[in-house]
Structure 1
Amino acid sequence: MKLREQIEKYIPYNAQEIKEQEVILRYMDKFDNLLTRDNEFAHFTASAWIVNEERTKVLMIYHNIYQSWSWTGGHADGDGDLLHVALKEVNEETGLTNIKPLSEEIYSIEILGVPAHEKKGKHVATHVHLNVTYLIEANESELTKIKPDENSDIKWWGLEEAIEASTEPEMRVVYRKLNNKLKGF
């Protein structure tokens, strides 16, 4: 199924997702380069909310740019299969190989503001990520591996602890939503 169909088919969880689904679809109508960073204002990213088999913990990385505990994820970079992107990012950022999506359906959508920052010696202007999140299960006992150019730590957190571990207030709102959705999954 194509990305647009997946986003159209997605049933929003709350008012935030209703509005952001509408905006994402409108952007898709206006821009043909949202899958790449060529669109310097808005582009697609994919994230993973990684849970253990009991769904009592989430795996987070300590993100070097944001200096905060964070989910895994990354830019689509031309790949319209955002589940593939999310799984690839889980593997790259944690080293995990024994991972599986709990559904191939989108778990959550967000439009995330990204402040200006430096990356690999270049200035990146303020922009937004049109983010699609997937719920991924991993084995808590599998060894992890840090990706030094992106993160400096990896840790399993209790669901509430994960929210508190983030130093980004706007992401705490997102993580709380993901955990609340998990209760009904």
Structure 2
Amino acid sequence: MACDGESPRLLAAGDPRLAPRSELEHALGLIRAFRAPDPEQAAFQRQILAFCAEHPDALWRTCLTGHLTASALIVSHDGRRGLLCLHKKLGRWLQLGGHVDGDANLPAAALREAVEESGIPDLCVDPRPIDLDAHRIPARAEEPEHWHLDVRFRIVAPSERALVLSEESLQLRWFERGQLASVEADASVRRLFDRLALPG
């Protein structure tokens, strides 16, 4: 699907600008170009760049100290709501996204994860990051505690598409900003809603 009627910056699956890339430098260029809106975001930007300078395998989850991830707030076609999932392993309401698995084209990775986790096939991504985050993932039997260095994007959904749960989620739900308090969404999720100025 072309992103008809949307900003020309929005890209759909199949666009050559979303082709897979393997070189870490491609991802780092996008992160360096991010214009941090506040000191917290600037600190995350420095942290992610410093980590990647020390870990050339940061695109891969086999980098056990931590790795790059890509996620997105999927915004409804009318711009009023954002889609969150109740994550099965973490038990929290989060934006959709996950591991990039070697793909340095971070908006493409975010779009791929969003399609897989929402069941909406014809999403469109703005390739400019809107937010950065670095957070610890608790240790589990199969992996130690580690960093997720998350680069976040805006993805736009077409109108009236059915949602399909993935194995990663217990629920999918559209939220207006004012509804986040009812599920105790964490600060980084609220920040995404604020970043996109969704109505509350």
Structure 2 length-normalised TM: 0.81
TM superposition shift of 1:166: 4.2
Structure 1: gaps of 5 or more residues: none
More strand by share: 1
The residue aligned with 1:89 is: 113
TM superposition shift of 1:127: 0.7
Runs of 4+ displaced beyond 3 Å? none
Q: Is the alpha carbon distance of 1:153 and 1:83 closer, same or farther for their aligned partners in structure 2, counting shifts above 3 Å?
A: same
> Is the 2:136–2:145 contact (alpha carbons within 8 Å) kept by the matching residues of 1?
yes
Q: Note the alpha carbon deviations across 1:130-166, whole angstroms, 9 max, x for none.
A: 100010111351011111x211211111123135424
RMSD of Structure 2 on Structure 1 (CA): 1.7
| Number of equivalences | 174
1:19-168 maps to which residues of 2 (within 5 A)?
19-101=43-125, 103-117=126-140, 122-147=141-166, 149-162=167-180, 164-166=182-184
SS at match of 2:127: coil
> Is the 2:85–2:170 contact (alpha carbons within 8 Å) kept by the matching residues of 1?
yes
> Is the 2:82–2:193 contact (alpha carbons within 8 Å) kept by the matching residues of 1?
no
Q: Note the alpha carbon deviations across 1:105-132, whole angstroms, 9 max, x for none.
A: 1111110111113xxxx42211110100
Structure 2: gaps of 5 or more residues: 1-24
CA distance in 2: counterparts of 1:22 and 1:99, whole angstroms: 30
> Is the 2:94–2:189 contact (alpha carbons within 8 Å) kept by the matching residues of 1?
no
SS at match of 1:146: coil
SS at match of 2:132: strand
The residue aligned with 1:11 is: 35
> Is the 1:46–1:73 contact (alpha carbons within 8 Å) kept by the matching residues of 2?
yes
